[in-house]
Structure 1
Amino acid sequence: MATPVERLVRGYLDHLTVERGASVHTVAAYRRDLARYTAFLAARGIDDPAAVTDADVSAFLAAVQAPRDGSAPLSVSSATRALVAVRSLHAFAAAEGLTPTDPAAVVRPPRAGRALPKALDLAGVQALLDTPDTTTPMGLRDAALLELLYGTGARVSEVLDLDVDDLAGLVADPDAGVRLFGKGRKERLVPVGSYARRAVEAWLVRGRPSFAQASSRPSPALLLNSRGQRLSRQSAYNVLRKAGEAAHLPVEVSPHTLRHSFATHLLDGGADVRVVQELLGHASVTTTQIYTLVTVEHLREVFLAVHPRAR
């Protein structure tokens, strides 16, 4: 005989499949998490969903993160997924009138630790920027992409959205900078350093014309693919990945890696965090301040490595 809790789980999984149209993989994940939850309640002598309290749900969350039976603890993301399944189950029971209350509604998911951005050191950036073969049109384009990403700290979408006309001001006035449009189409003016300017000029003069003639419909985009169309986000990621492999870097490189490196290196050099905020296009300085944690961690590593009384 199935217990009331087990019958509730079966009914909820049927609801997911039939009424919600959830995928097979989603239902399977919920089934695994709810089986774990059912076993936990049974071990506490609870077989009636109406008898479950918020303390029981909180105890389940603590148990999957720090199990006492020798099993592996769930990661924060997996524990959060399990709690979502449990909360959905109890919300369903309450909505269907199967229980008088929803004991899981007040239980909050675990907080993930703050992940620090992965930034390359100066030598790593230099190795990455040195990888394109600038004797070829493809290499000139890749060099322009890499130099723009690191030289401006722009998001990859902001660089890929640039048109040739957007750089016209730089030709007339190297100090003019480039206008980027970030989230919410918020506009900002970002300086472009000499290395990025030279890479862009070399691409425009010696590389882009050969790519542009591959299409019968000329694109205004600054960065083109070999078919003469605007370079895609996926292609940009592939350029970064291959450059990282060619440079033998120990971490996987993405366009955001160069954005992180841009911010970290500016702060390491003494730049004010609010200046970096404006350059990155962050709406709040709080978002930018995570990079200060990176620089403090770097200082700590240096201190521990070289100070005679650090250890």
Structure 2
Amino acid sequence: MKRNTIANAVELFERYKRTKEPELLDSAISILEEVEKKDSGSLNLLGLCYLEKGDVRKAIEVFNEAYKRAKDEESRGVILLNKAMALMKLREYQGAYDALKEAISLRTSVKGEAKRLLAKVCLARGGKYVEEAKDILESFEIPNEDLAVAYILLARRGRKEYGKKAIEVSKFLKDDRLLAEALLSSGEEKDVEEALELFRRVRDVRGEARALLVLSKYKPELVYEAASKLEEIEDESQEHLQLLYEVYKRTGLVELLKRAITIAEKLKDSLFLARAYVELSKVENEVENLRLAVKYYEEYVRRAEGK
């Protein structure tokens, strides 16, 4: 009876993946929850069901229980991979990193998949982990988009030899958007001009602005064209915030600074707000803006101490 019950749940889950009908997922969960003696396989499937349902915390809880009951390395590797995917959804990268490291150390059929996911985790963590992502991805025979991204990130840090590698991989993948980023990361005028044309071709306005900003080091008048492009973008991301501020510093256009402040207030970026209001105090309402700068700096310190 148990086998038939779990088999029914498997069938329902497979049908759900094809149709995305939520009642199929609910039925599979109901069956699996009612199984009296749950083994690692049924628990792993239950975790996947909760993950699909969007109850990520519950999925992780179930995967942890499945791991405890797993009797072989293959089962543990699969469960750890699924747990890592759940942790990534929560942006809990350290937990995902640890789970994948363990999965890779086991004799399991999902080792390759775990390595690719580990590379994604490393790219998401950034910093020193980008190098680890690069090493993992270079171990695969066929390059992919993540390898190009790793090369681009390393090139942006001044390791220009990786800019050329990023260009090579992007051309191999025939991805214009990725190639534009790779060309931009090289920093060489000819490459950046080509990047600008590609950004225009794929209608990436932010990319255009970034390319124009880099080219303005060679042709200073282009910084105002970059500023004009930024005015076309409706975005409230950290990346856009920093881009606005950088162009403001180059042009002195106060409206760009004010837009950056508006975004920073929504992002609750206290440290940026402190610095931005100091800048704004130099051109208007000196006393009031300095007061706001102090307020946000104190807020930043309180948050830092709270951590």
Q: Same fold (TM over 0.5)?
A: no
> Which entry has the higher C-alpha Rg, 1 or 2?
1
Q: TM-score range by the shorter chain?
A: under 0.3
Higher RCO structure, 1 or 2 (CA under 8 Å, sep 6+): 1
**TM-score normalized with structure 2 length:** 0.27
**TM-score normalized with structure 1 length:** 0.27
